[in-house]
Structure 1
Amino acid sequence: MSSALSISGILTPLMVPLRADSEIHEDELRRYVDWLIEKGVHGLYPNGSTGEFTRFTAEERHRIIKIVCEQTAGRVPVLAGAAEANVRETIEACETYRNYGAQAVAIVSPFYYKLSQESIFAYYREIATNSPIDITLYNIPLFANPIEFETVLRLAECEKIIGIKDSSGDLAGMTRMIGAIHPKRPDFLFMTGWDAALVPMLMAGCQGGVHATSGIVPEITRSIYDLTTQKKFNEAFVLQKQLLELFDSVFDAADFPEGIRSAIDLRGFNFGKGRQPLSEKQTTKLAIATKKTRLLIKQMLSIREAH
Structure 2
Amino acid sequence: MLSLKGVYPYLVSPVDASGQVDEAVLARLVDDLIAKGVHGVTPLGSTGEFAYLSNEQRRTIIRVVVKAARGRVPVIAGVASTSIADARAQTEAALGEGADGILAVLEAYFPVTEDGVERYFRAVAEAASGRPVVLYTNPNFQRSDLSLAVIRRLSEVDNIAYIKDASSNTGRLLSILQQTEGRLGVFAASAHIPACVMMIGGVGWMAGPACLVPEQSVALYEAAAAGDWTRAMALQNPLWRLNELFARFSLAACIKAGLDMQGYPVGDPIPPLAPLGAAEREILAKALRDIGAL
TM-score of the alignment, normalized to the shorter chain, above 0.5: yes
| Contact 1:22–1:274, Cα closer than 8 Å, also in 2 | no
The answer to whether residue 238 in structure 2 is matched with residue 276 in structure 1 is no
What are the ranges of 5 or more consecutive residues in structure 2 without an aligned counterpart?
Answer: none
| Contact 2:101–2:132, Cα closer than 8 Å, also in 1 | yes
Q: CA deviation at 1:195?
A: 4.5
Closer/same/farther in 2, CA of residues 19 and 127 from structure 1, 3 Å limit: closer
Q: Distance in 1 between matches of 2:95 and 2:18?
A: 30
Q: Tell me which of 72, 76, 79 is aligned to 2:76.
A: 79
Q: Distance in 2 between matches of 1:103 and 1:87?
A: 21
Q: CA deviation at 1:297?
A: 1.5
Q: CA deviation at 1:13?
A: 0.4
| Contact 2:47–2:252, Cα closer than 8 Å, also in 1 | yes
| Contact 1:249–1:289, Cα closer than 8 Å, also in 2 | no
Q: CA deviation at 1:251?
A: 3.6
The 10-residue stretch of structure 1 (148-157 or 123-132) with the greater mean CA deviation from structure 2? 123-132
Closer/same/farther in 2, CA of residues 212 and 89 from structure 1, 3 Å limit: same
What are the ranges of 5 or more consecutive residues in structure 1 without an aligned counterpart?
Answer: 303-307
Query: Once superposed, which parts of structure 1, at least 4 consecutive aligned residues long, lie more than 6 Å away?
Result: none
Q: Distance in 1 between matches of 2:106 and 2:15?
A: 27
String of CA shifts for 1:121-169, please: whole Å, max 9, x gaps: 1222233334323322111111122111111001111113122121112
Closer/same/farther in 2, CA of residues 244 and 169 from structure 1, 3 Å limit: same
Q: CA deviation at 1:235?
A: 2.0
Residue 269 of structure 1 aligns to a residue whose secondary structure is: coil
Q: Distance in 2 between matches of 1:129 and 1:33?
A: 28
Closer/same/farther in 2, CA of residues 273 and 89 from structure 1, 3 Å limit: same
Which residue in the other structure is 1:305 paired with? none
Which residue in the other structure is 1:24 paired with? 21
Closer/same/farther in 2, CA of residues 195 and 213 from structure 1, 3 Å limit: farther
Closer/same/farther in 2, CA of residues 244 and 196 from structure 1, 3 Å limit: farther
CA RMSD for the aligned pairs? 1.9
Which residue in the other structure is 1:257 paired with? 252
Which residue in the other structure is 1:153 paired with? 152
Q: CA deviation at 1:22?
A: 4.5
| Contact 1:19–1:25, Cα closer than 8 Å, also in 2 | yes
String of CA shifts for 1:197-254, please: whole Å, max 9, x gaps: 111001110101111110111111111111111222122212212111112223423x
State how many pairs are aligned. 291
| Contact 1:251–1:257, Cα closer than 8 Å, also in 2 | no
Q: Distance in 2 between matches of 1:165 and 1:216?
A: 20
Residue 45 of structure 2 aligns to a residue whose secondary structure is: coil
| Contact 1:91–1:130, Cα closer than 8 Å, also in 2 | yes
Which residue in the other structure is 2:66 paired with? 69
| Contact 1:195–1:213, Cα closer than 8 Å, also in 2 | no
Q: Tell me which of 136, 139, 145 is aligned to 1:138.
A: 136
The answer to whether residue 202 in structure 2 is matched with residue 206 in structure 1 is yes
- Report sequence identity in percent: 26
Residue 191 of structure 1 aligns to a residue whose secondary structure is: strand
Q: Distance in 2 between matches of 1:111 and 1:43?
A: 28
Q: Distance in 1 between matches of 2:52 and 2:198?
A: 32
Closer/same/farther in 2, CA of residues 155 and 277 from structure 1, 3 Å limit: closer
| Contact 2:189–2:205, Cα closer than 8 Å, also in 1 | yes
| Contact 1:196–1:240, Cα closer than 8 Å, also in 2 | no
| Contact 2:40–2:75, Cα closer than 8 Å, also in 1 | yes
| Contact 1:139–1:146, Cα closer than 8 Å, also in 2 | yes
Q: CA deviation at 1:179?
A: 1.7
Which residue in the other structure is 2:175 paired with? 176
| Contact 1:12–1:41, Cα closer than 8 Å, also in 2 | yes
The answer to whether residue 95 in structure 2 is matched with residue 104 in structure 1 is no
| Contact 1:192–1:201, Cα closer than 8 Å, also in 2 | yes
Q: Tell me which of 230, 235, 245 is aligned to 2:231.
A: 235
Residue 104 of structure 2 aligns to a residue whose secondary structure is: strand
Q: Distance in 1 between matches of 2:79 and 2:146?
A: 17
Residue 175 of structure 1 aligns to a residue whose secondary structure is: helix
Q: What's the TM-score, normalizing by structure 2?
A: 0.92
Q: Distance in 2 between matches of 1:267 and 1:196?
A: 25
The answer to whether residue 288 in structure 2 is matched with residue 294 in structure 1 is no
Q: CA deviation at 1:101?
A: 2.1
Closer/same/farther in 2, CA of residues 129 and 70 from structure 1, 3 Å limit: same
